[in-house]
Structure 1
Amino acid sequence: MTSEGSAMPEDTSVLRDLAGHQAARLHDGTLPWAWWLEHAARHGRYGFTNTLLIAAQWRAATDVRSYAEWQAAGRQVRRGEAGIRVLARGGGTRPVFDVAQTAGLPLPRPEPGEARIWERLAAEAARCGLPVRADDGPDALAHRLALDLAPRGLPRADLVARSVAFVVLARLGLEPPPPAFPSPADWADDRLGDTVLRLARILHARLTDPSGDLMSAAHRFFRARVRDGWVPGYLAERGFARGVQRRWQIGYAPAGRRDLLDHLLGLGHTEQAVVAAGLARPGGRDTFRDRAMFAIRAEGGAVAGFIGRRRDGGTGPKYLNGPNTSLFRKGELLYGLHEASGRLAEGARPVLVEGPLDAIAVDLAAARGHAAVATCGVAVTPAQVAALARACDLERAGLLVALDGDAAGRSAAVRAWPALAAVPGPVDTAVLPGGRDPAQLLHEGGRAAVRAALRSPGRLLDLVVDDAASRAGGPLQTNEARLSALRAAVAVIAAARPAEAARQVVRLAARLDVPPALVTAELLTAAAP
C-alpha cells in the first residue's frame, strides 16, 4: 500500500495489482465490508475498483474530484499536489484530487436534519407502494426501498440492500451505524460492489430531486405535447401505429427555445436542477428541441434520461443523447431493457440494435421469440452486457446482434466484439439486406422481412475473424500476407470461448488456403501464456 498522499505510477498494471490486493483483503476478512461501504459513500461514483484505489492511496480522503470538477466548484488544486491515480473508463489512468489538496470557495454542506430525510424516504416508499410505519427509522425505510429496487432474483439481495441503505444515508448527511456482515466476506467482489453502487446511485437520485421526480415530469411534458408536432404522423407512416407509440410512450420536444425549462420552473424545480438533469443547457436553453423523444429507463423502471430523434431533413445529429448525470449513464443503460425484462426472463433471445426505432421494430416483428435493446449510438460496453446478463440467462439464450447492414454497421459489430466476447452463450449477427437497419426493413418490407433477417443469423466471431484477416493480409497475394492474416485472425480466436476454436480453425484454413495443422499450431502459440 502506498503512503498517505503519495503519487501512484501511471502504469495500469500497478494500479490493478494494488486493487487486487485490497479486494483480496476484503474477501478474506482482513478488511471488513463495512470499511469498504464507508469509502463507497464518499467515492462510490468512481466504481468498486477505484474506490479501493482511492482508499489505498489516501486513507483520509473525503471528497475526491477531477481537476476540472474542482475548477467548476470554485476551487483550485494547489500547486505541486500529487494526484490520486484511478483507472479511466477508456483505458489508462487519470488523476483525481481530494478536497484537502484544494483551496477556494467553501463547499455547500449536505442538508442537515434527520426529520427532513425521513420525510423524503417516507414519500418515496409511499410512491412505490411500500408500507410506512411511524416507528420506522431512516435505516429501515432505506433498506425497504433498496430491497424493492433490487432486481428480482438478485443473489444476496438483503446484504446488497443493507449496503445500499448505508451508502445512501451517509451521502444524505446522516451517520448511520455500520451494519454487521458475515466475515470473512467471501462474497465481496467487483460485481456485488458495483451492484451496490448502481442501486445506491438510483435511490439517491430519487431522494434528492427537490420536488419529487424531475425526469418523470419532463416525460409527462413530452407525452402531453406529442399531438402538437410531426411525430405521430411520421411514425405511423414508418409502420409504428398510434397504439405502438402509446405503448412505448413516445413523446415530442417542442421547437421552442425553453418550453420545457419554463414548464419545469413553473412546477417548482430550479434551473440548476434542470441543467444538472441534462434537460437544459447552462444559460437557459432546452437540450431537446423539435425531436421525437424516447425515454430510457433504469433497471427499476424510473426514467433515467432521454434520446431525441430529429425529423428527416432537420439540423443536428440524427439521434441526440442527454449528457451523463447521476442517474443517466449512457454506457450503463440500454433502451428497451426495462420494457423487455418480462420476455427476457421467460426465455426470449436478446437482440442488440442501435436506435430506439430499431428496438421497437424488432419488438413488433418478433413477437415473444426475440426482445430488442438499443445502445442508442453508444459503443457497446461491458456494463451494458452485465445489465443484460442480470435480465436474462445469456449462457442459454446467447445474443443476436442486428446493427445496420451497411459498412458502418458491420464495423460497429466488429468493434463491439471485445465487450461481447464475455457473453457465455452463442453470439450471432443478423445480416440485414441492402444496408438497412431494422426500422428501415420494417418500413419497406413489413414485419415478415424483419423476422426473416432475425431467423438467418451467422456467428459474429466469423465476421470479426474475417475482418482481422482482411486488415492484416489484404488481398492475400503472397505467403507473407497469408501469414500476417493468419496470425491476426488466430489472435482473435485465442481470446474467444474455447468451444469456438475447432470451427474457426476449419474456416480460417479454407479462407487462407493453408493446412488446418498450421492454423492449429499458430493458435496454440497465440493461446500460450
Structure 2
Amino acid sequence: MATKTTRRRSPRKSPEERAAEVAALHDLLNDAIGSLVSADGWRAMLRATVANLGRYSANNMILILAQCPHATQVRGAREWNDRGRLIRKGEKALRIFAPMTVTKKDKDGKPVPDEHGQEQRRTLFKAAPVFDISQTRPMNEDEEAQPEDTEPGYQLGGKTTGEVPAELWERLERHAKGHGYTVSLGVTTPADGFTRPATREVVIQASDPEAHRTVVLAHEVAHIECGHVADIEEYRKHRGRMECEAESVAFIVAGVAGLDAALTSVPYIAAWAGKTAEEVRETLTAASETVIRAAKAILATTTVDVEAEAEHAAEEAAQAAYQAERAEMMAAEQQRKAARSAVSTPGVLATA
C-alpha cells in the first residue's frame, strides 16, 4: 500500500525576522563589493553573468559570489530537482534578494483600494535560498562522490585566439548597422580597434587573429549600445568606467557564444578600473547594471536560436517542395491541354 508523504513546512517568519534577514543581506552586499576590487573578483562576476544572465540582478550576483566565489550556475532546490540534481548533504544555502508583492489590507483582511479603486500593492524583498551546481549531485550519483572543480584556470595576457563561433562577427556587424554604424577592417594601431561617431564607423585591426578581432568588435559594439559614443566629453570624463563596461560586455557576449575572452578581457578591465581600491570599487559597482543591460540587448541579436533556425529551415524546405510539386503539376496540366488541343484540331497529327 502506497503511503502519502507530506512536506514539512518551515516555520513562518515574522516581519521583524524577515526585515533582519534582508538587512543582513544588505550588509553582506556592501562588504562583498570589496571583493570586486581585483581582476579575479570581477572575472568571477563576469563568469557568473555568462552562466546566469537574465536570472539575477547585479546585486544578487555579487551576493552569490560573496558566499560562493566559484559559483557558475545557481538555482533553487526545486529547480535543481527538476533538472535531475539533488542538494548534497550538509550544504548551506546561498541567500539572495527575492521580490515579494503584498497587498495593503484593512483590519478585516480586505484589500484597501486607492483613489482609483485599484488594490494598493507594494514590492518588498525577502531572503531566498539558492544553491550553486557545485553544491549538487546527479540523482543517480553516490552521495560520497566529490563535486567537480568548476573554477577555470586562465593564463592572462596576449590576444584572444581559438575557434570563432559561427556567424558571430556577422551578427555583431548587423547589430552595429542597426545603430547606423558601418564595420570594416583596417589599420588601427596602436589600438585594436576604434569607433568614430563623426563618420558612424567602426574599424577593427585587420592583422589581429580572427577571434581577437571578433572580441574587439563586440567591445566597440558595446560602446555603441551603452551610449558611450553619444557624448564624447562625457566619455572622456568617465573613460575608465566606460572601458570597463565595454570590455565586460564583450567578455559576456563572447562567452555566451562559446569564445573565452578572459585572456584579453581580465587584464584590460583591471587596467582601466582604477589605481586605488576605492576607485576600482566605485568603477565596478557603477558598471554592473549597465553591463548586464547592454549584454542582454546585444545577445538578443547575436545569440543563435538553434531550434528557431531549424524550424525556419524546415519551413523553407517544405515551401520549396510545395512550389516544386506545384510547378510539376502545372507543367503536366499544360502538356495534357496541349495534347487535347492537338487531337481536336483538324489537319493536325497528334503524336505521343
TM-score (norm 2): 0.49
Report which of the two structures shows the higher radius of gyration computed on alpha carbons: 2
Structure scoring higher RCO (CA < 8 A, sep ≥ 6) equals: 2
TM-score (norm 1): 0.34
